[in-house]
Homo-oligomer: A and B are copies of this chain.
Amino acid sequence: MTNKQLIDQIRLKQSFLCIGLDVDINKIPKHLLVEEDPIFAFNKAIIDATNHLCVAYKPNTAFYEAHGLKGWKSLEKTIQYLNTHYPEQFTIADAKRGDIGNTSSMYAKAFFEDLGFDSVTIAPYMGKDSVEPFLAFEDKHTILLALTSNEGAYDFQTQIVDGMELYKKVLTTSKTYKNAKNLMYVVGATKATYLTDIRKIIPDSFLLVPGVGAQGGSLSEVCKYGMTKDVGLLVNSSRGIIYASTGTDFAEVARVKAEELQEQMAAELKKV
């Protein structure tokens, strides 16, 4: 999917919502446990109920890997379901990978070619040759961790390097990578005011913003400091939507929660 196609979807749906499919078997409604693949059944119901309200889905691969082969199968079925029934959705493998060149190439192949995701999240610690194998894929997107929404972000990401915080060094350096146009960045919503500085370095790049809702970030702050003329934002919500009800009405309640966010987003989009 190209940036333009993503922006068109955002305009059409009046939404820049990404729904995180961080599906924990212990948190899904009990009545689904009789299904052959409860996690896929859960995802399918959530996707069918919410797809008109969001532009992206982001399964966190850890939640699938935790179930070994069975979990990997659920992930595969989920991405196949999305690509078959809702090809207009931007899909993100939240995998936070990164390794030396030939190994990153294997990961890129796994997520982009075999699974068919539009994008994958990448940790920047190993630098250029760990990121460029992902960037080499045409019309695929590499979402680099810059400033994450967890407390540990202060351990290294906000430390001063070369006159700037490490996450800014990551932004600055990554712009020099080959095919940098395919980069997006993770920037946590819990630090929305940082977005002013971030936009000075990467004025146009798409930002994937976790941490709105359950983690305490504010949507209007994120938009105030981070939105561009082409929107440039994907705001993720996981737990606040998918676990809003643990009853048989879970998909319907998820739809209501997604709609609340979509309406707030539509209001924000009117401002640009």
Contacts and interface: CB of A to CB of B under 8 A. Distances in A.
Interface of A: 22, 24, 60, 62-63, 65-69, 71-73, 76, 96-101, 103-104, 106-107, 109-110, 114-115, 123-131, 145, 148-157, 159-162, 166, 169-170, 173
A124 to B, nearest CB: 6
A22 B103 contact: yes
Given A62-B104, A67-B110, A68-B110, 12 more contacts: A60-B103, A66-B107, A68-B76, A68-B114, A69-B69, A96-B123, A125-B145, A126-B145, A127-B152, A127-B153, A129-B151, A129-B152
A4 to B, nearest CB: 30
A208 to B, nearest CB: 14
Which 9 pairs between the two chains have the least Cβ-Cβ distance? A127-B152, A127-B155, A62-B106, A128-B152, A66-B106, A100-B150, A129-B152, A159-B161, A66-B110
A195 to B, nearest CB: 19
Given A65-B110, A110-B66, A99 B60 contact: yes
B103 A62 contact: yes
Contacts of A125: 123-125, 145, 148, 156-157
B162 A166 contact: no
Instruction: Count the copies.
Output: 2
A156 B129 contact: no
B96 A150 contact: no
A153 B169 contact: no
A24 B103 CA distance: 10
A150 B128 CA distance: 9
B103 A128 contact: no
Nearest to A68: B114
Contacts of A66: 106-107, 109-110, 114
Nearest to A114: B68
A56 to B, nearest CB: 18
Given A68-B115, A114-B68, A62 B156 contact: no
